[in-house]
């Protein structure tokens, strides 16, 4: 038998190594799953992790997509991770993302068909405000009434989806759309289109914002007193209270940051890759970002790498659907497995495996 023995302090080596081990284990287990589905496991893993970047016939399309997909994931995950490290569980980023997209698009469409680029920053702010406002609901309820923020933020995802369905065939419906549900196409309207900053790279404004968020979050969490207070309340809530950090303020701060970032991500998506508000705008990014946050060790730089890796599984997954006929759900399960293996191997950070000694009689 093997027993766990607590390490005197967490292992730095394993902290960095467990994500890699988890990825390797996921490839093994995922390969077994692909084999069970009748695909060649080695080919499937190669199509998912290698071909999007290096296969000449796909790379031209797939490489820019890497940033397009990673942008929103990183932007949302950076915000969520700040909360997770502070013991604040915002699970409803998907809802904040949807509300951000709706508010940003609504603010922009109020000026239609103006042609000034000044609308774009305004709409980005409106998107951030929309996500922030939606995130304030669970935060304020928690602070005022002690309501569980996990359940409330999650319930609000379903409410946001109802709102999305309503506005895409109501308030925001394209008046020239011949009755089809869905808003005007924002990506084709020069004033608010979220264009590529560098042509052909997939690097749009949202990806830029994600990079800025990574740097800002790093400075906040490692170099700023507020970041220290947040981490303190996550690691030792009682000690934090004695040090004068109020739990309510921590919850509000974390929800404000993560909500605003998720909302912003929503607007960048609707003004760019998605193009319009429609019933199927919700993309599960808000949930996948939770995996990204943990895979990145709740650290901004880790999240940057994890976001790129997760984006790769999205693109590789699409490619595997096309070339190998693997179902889309297999990729979703693959991503879920990754989080599982990561949590399973995490034990090595704080504990050491020892063969169990025979108990003295």
Binding residues for other proteins, rule: CB under 8 A, are 4, 6, 89, 91, 141, 145-148, 150-152, 154-159, 162-163, 165-166, 287, 290-291, 294, 327-337, 339-340, 343-344, 346-347, 350-351
Q: Give the whole-angstrom CA distance, residue 286 versus residue 265.
A: 10
Q: Give the whole-angstrom CA distance, residue 333 versus residue 37.
A: 13
Q: Which two tokens stand for residue 321?
A: 């659907």
CB of 67 to other proteins, least distance (A): 24
CB of 336 to other proteins, least distance (A): 3
CB of 158 to other proteins, least distance (A): 5
**Residue 150 or 191 with smaller CB distance to other proteins:** 150
**Residue 58 or 294 with smaller CB distance to other proteins:** 294
CB of 191 to other proteins, least distance (A): 29
214 with 293: CB under 8 angstroms? no
**Residue 84 or 189 with smaller CB distance to other proteins:** 84
Instruction: Provide the sign of the torsion angle of the four alpha carbons 43, 289, 67, 127, taken in this order.
Output: positive
**Residue 147 or 201 with smaller CB distance to other proteins:** 147
**Residue 121 or 327 with smaller CB distance to other proteins:** 327
- Which residue, among 311, 298, 336, has the nearest Cα to 80 in the 3D structure? 298
CB of 215 to other proteins, least distance (A): 26
Q: Give the whole-angstrom CA distance, residue 69 versus residue 279.
A: 20
Q: Give the whole-angstrom CA distance, residue 258 versus residue 132.
A: 8
Distance of CA 306 to the CA centre of its chain: 10
Instruction: Provide the sign of the torsion angle of the four alpha carbons 66, 67, 71, 72, taken in this order.
Output: negative
Instruction: State the first-to-last Cα distance of the chain, in angstroms, to the nearest integer.
Output: 17
SS3 22: helix
- Which residue, among 74, 119, 128, 61, has the nearest Cα to 100 in the 3D structure? 128
Q: Give the whole-angstrom CA distance, residue 188 versus residue 14.
A: 48
Q: Give the whole-angstrom CA distance, residue 236 versus residue 233.
A: 5
**Residue 6 or 12 with smaller CB distance to other proteins:** 6
CB of 203 to other proteins, least distance (A): 28
CB of 258 to other proteins, least distance (A): 15
């Amino acid at each position: 038998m093997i027993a766990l023995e607590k390490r005197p302090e967490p292992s730095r080596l394993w902290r960095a190594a467990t994500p890699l081990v988890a990825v390797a284990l996921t490839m093994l287990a995922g390969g077994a799953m692909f084999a069970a589905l009748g695909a060649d496991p080695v080919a499937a893993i190669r199509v998912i992790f290698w071909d999007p970047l290096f296969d000449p016939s796909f790379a031209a399309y797939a490489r820019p997509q890497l940033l397009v997909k990673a942008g929103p994931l990183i932007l949302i995950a950076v915000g969520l991770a700040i909360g997770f490290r502070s013991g604040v569980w915002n699970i409803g980023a998907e809802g904040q993302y949807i509300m951000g997209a709706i508010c940003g698009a609504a603010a922009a469409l109020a000026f239609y068909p103006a042609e000034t680029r000044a609308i774009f920053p305004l709409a980005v702010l409106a998107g951030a405000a929309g996500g922030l406002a939606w995130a304030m609901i669970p935060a304020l309820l928690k602070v005022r009434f002690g309501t569980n923020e996990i359940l409330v933020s999650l319930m609000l995802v379903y409410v946001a989806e109802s709102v999305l369905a309503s506005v895409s065939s109501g308030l925001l419906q394209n008046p020239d759309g011949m009755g089809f549900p869905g808003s005007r196409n924002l990506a084709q309207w020069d004033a608010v289109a979220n264009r590529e900053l560098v042509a052909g790279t997939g690097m749009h404004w949202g990806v830029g914002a994600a990079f800025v968020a990574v740097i800002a979050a790093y400075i906040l969490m490692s170099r700023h007193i507020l970041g220290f207070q947040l981490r303190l309340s996550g690691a030792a809530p009682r000690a934090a209270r004695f040090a004068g950090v109020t739990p309510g303020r921590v919850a509000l701060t974390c929800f404000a940051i993560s909500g605003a970032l998720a909302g912003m991500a929503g607007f960048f998506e609707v003004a760019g890759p998605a193009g319009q508000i429609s019933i199927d705008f919700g993309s599960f990014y808000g949930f996948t970002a939770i995996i990204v946050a943990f895979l990145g060790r709740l650290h901004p730089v880790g999240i940057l790498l994890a976001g790129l890796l997760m984006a790769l599984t999205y693109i590789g997954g699409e490619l595997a659907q096309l070339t190998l006929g693997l179902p889309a759900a297999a990729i979703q399960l693959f991503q879920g497995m990754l989080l599982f293996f990561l949590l399973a191997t995490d034990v090595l950070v704080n504990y050491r495996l020892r063969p169990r000694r025979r108990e003295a009689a």
